[in-house]
Structure 1
Amino acid sequence: MSSGVAAGPDQVSLGVLVAAVDRDVIDAAVAGCGVGAKRSDGKLPPHVVAYLTMALCLFPDDDYEEVATKVTGSLSRWGCWDASWAVPTASGITQARKRLGPKVMSEVFEGVAAPVATSDTRGAWLRGWRLLAIDGFEVDLPDTPGNAGEFGYAGSGGNRSAFPKARVVAVAECGTHAFLAGEVGAYAVGENTLAQRLYPRLRPDELLTADRGFYSWEAWDTAAATGAALLWRAPAQLALPVVTVLPDGTYLTVLISPKVRGAGRRRQILAAAEAGQDIHPDEAHLVRVVEYDIPDREGNGTGELIVLLSSITDPADAAADELAAAYHQRWEQETANDQLKTHLRGPGKLLRSRLPDLVHQEIWAWLTVHYALSVLIARAAEAADLDPDRISYSRVLRITRRTATGTAGFSPSGLD
């Protein structure tokens, strides 16, 4: 990202997490997962553990006790920490995380991850549609028997990865890089399988962009059924018969379900589409195709043909150049992945968690912290009338870490 503009120190602190992740959301997640506070929890009731787990993601280079010291060091000024209490030990924090379990943080993320972009956010919209992208990434985990059994490795034999890997597929808001939904699975669970669980959550005012690896009839059919607009790159082998050439040079085609057997029935569907007749959505979808060339960077004449499929069939609703520009906003999710893995976590670093349940917990806490920072950046960009891309993520992260000590505004008392 550009290193141009950053939010001021007074805008960022561990309070960013408290502001983005309301205590009520955590309490609801705790209650829903049946892990409510007990007097035996002492200084580490569930809601404190949730914030502490997020703080562990904010400070990946520090051990448990160092992070706990940073979070609790000046809490006495807030009247919510007794200065005579000792900072929790690493083993105490681990036990508290085990009590919190694997599901609370995913519920917390679900509770806070609402769309961030407003009508004033630059790069976030195609006309009335909120631009989203779906993509996947891998997460390296500590090499423990539990993690290996739960998540598995990439490859096998001599080509096996050095560490177990979790797979994450997430939907992000292009304009703000904020992750809005995700699925976590073992490495052997394919991206398309995890993505299929996300499509039903789309809304009619959203436009989902996706690379060609995500296309299948089932995926398109599931996503289209939500009423959301779709803009996906077509795989090279997909047959796209021309139904109607449109005035802007795009054309209409039909995507036919693989369950439709026989060339005769396929010809009937195509003929119906050419005649402007309705086609049954269980059998086929009428879509618009946008084709354009991207010149090669080396100048050797090996440019690339991009073929896009869109459910926006009327050029009056979105021109071809608008769709092409919107598709390339999909790369903003690559930026989000980079922020998450390179800046927030650190390049080549493993997660902390040595137990599968804690891996799930940590991944969702990690996504939640990224969401909180994305909200901060988006609001700062709007206040300065800038594209959020102009706000330096790495600089905001550095300021957040520097100002975090003693600024967490949450009470350790789970019984108040």
Structure 2
Amino acid sequence: ADLLTPGAFLGPWRLVAIDGVEWDVPDSEQNAAAFGYPGGGAALPKARLVSISECSSHAHLAAAIGPVVGEGSGEQSLARQLYPTLQGDQLLLADSNFYSFEDWRLAAGTGAQLLWRVGVRVDLPLIEDLGDGSYLSLVFSRQAHTRQAKARIVQAVKEGRQPHPDQARLVRVVEYDVPDRGLEAERELICLITTITDPRTVTAEQLARAYHDRWEHEVSAAQLKTVMRGPGRILRSKSPDLIRQEIYGYLLAHYAISALICRAATNAG
């Protein structure tokens, strides 16, 4: 995508998203040992793919493949392999599953901007109301896990001092709910944090709208698994190395097709 591609950018930042998906693989001894079986009595081993894709074109820009069980099998673990590929002109969208202070710090350290959803257990004290429906807050590391430690850091920041980067990071918070998600009692609060702290650059409403482009990654995953591979089909290879090659083959083919479609759509206006 380029600057003329509709929906590709929010201000100067290219919208990209990270998420994971699982692939059924043949039930060979090698595949079972390398990838494992998910819980619930699954009949087939599964490989986990975590990737960063461009929201507008659906093209996958970086990917990591791993097991679904055991050490290092979670989406967060695979995502850590991908954060170093981020670039300064990108805005990375992520669901709450990817948040931890350490991962936030790792991804933000690349120079890319971040817009991630966080769960209700993340403590987000008010530092400054920004007047557009968002406010400045802090996220804390495990080093500042006590109420007293957090209070000291909050007070220091309110007095104009910068927090130690190993203890806390300044973020901007955008909270909202979606009015058509069901009955009033069923409405789910969506809480986003971002590294874009200046409301003059991007408004809270623009950030909330941009976050929902994260679902374009779901579209991209469906194109890979359902359209290209075919519904109900499993990968063919019986060795882990060939499974990885097969998945990367799908990713490369999907990238080429996505780039072609995006170029045609951009040229058509």
TM-score range, shorter chain: over 0.9
- Structure 1 position 262, deviation (Å): 4.5
Find the counterpart in structure 1 of residue 26 from structure 2: 142
- Structure 1 position 298, deviation (Å): 4.2
Task: Indicate conservation of the 8 Å contact 1:204/1:226, yes or no.
Answer: yes
- Cα distance in 2 for partners of 1:295, 1:303 equals 7
Say yes or no: does 1:171 pair with 2:52.
yes
- Structure 1 position 197, deviation (Å): 1.4
- Aligned identity (percent) is 50
- Cα distance in 1 for partners of 2:105, 2:184 equals 39
Find the counterpart in structure 1 of residue 120 from structure 2: 236
2:27 match: secondary structure: coil
- Cα distance in 1 for partners of 2:51, 2:167 equals 28
Say yes or no: does 1:186 pair with 2:70.
no
CA RMSD of aligned residues (A): 1.3
- Size of the aligned set, in residue pairs, is 266
The one of 149, 162, 165 equivalent to 1:281 is: 165
- Structure 1 position 279, deviation (Å): 1.5
- Cα distance in 1 for partners of 2:172, 2:59 equals 29
Task: Indicate conservation of the 8 Å contact 1:199/1:222, yes or no.
Answer: yes
- Cα distance in 1 for partners of 2:160, 2:4 equals 39
- Cα distance in 2 for partners of 1:357, 1:273 equals 50
- Cα distance in 1 for partners of 2:119, 2:184 equals 24
Task: Indicate conservation of the 8 Å contact 1:296/1:302, yes or no.
Answer: no
More helix by share: 1
More strand by share: 2
Deviations 1:122-142 (A, max 9, x none): 111000000010000000001
Cα gap change, 1:266 to 1:300, in 2 (>3 Å): closer
The structure having more radius of gyration, on CA atoms, is 1
Within 5 A, what are the aligned runs for 1:41-190?
117-155=1-39, 159-188=40-69, 189-190=73-74
Find the counterpart in structure 2 of residue 379 from structure 1: 263
Structure with more contact order per residue of length (Cα contacts < 8 Å, sep ≥ 6): 1
- Cα distance in 2 for partners of 1:261, 1:211 equals 23
Task: Indicate conservation of the 8 Å contact 1:251/1:290, yes or no.
Answer: yes
The answer for unaligned runs of 5 or more in structure 1 is 1-116, 386-416
Find the counterpart in structure 2 of residue 8 from structure 1: none
Deviations 1:71-103 (A, max 9, x none): xxxxxxxxxxxxxxxxxxxxxxxxxxxxxxxxx
TM-score, normalised with respect to structure 2: 0.95
- Cα distance in 2 for partners of 1:267, 1:298 equals 37
- Cα distance in 1 for partners of 2:186, 2:146 equals 38
- Structure 1 position 299, deviation (Å): 4.7
Residue type at the aligned position of 1:166: A
TM-score, normalised with respect to structure 1: 0.62
Say yes or no: does 1:363 pair with 2:217.
no
Say yes or no: does 1:349 pair with 2:233.
yes
1:340 match: secondary structure: helix
- Cα distance in 1 for partners of 2:186, 2:145 equals 38
Say yes or no: does 1:310 pair with 2:191.
no
Residue type at the aligned position of 1:337: A
Cα gap change, 1:381 to 1:166, in 2 (>3 Å): same
- Cα distance in 2 for partners of 1:327, 1:263 equals 31
2:79 match: secondary structure: helix
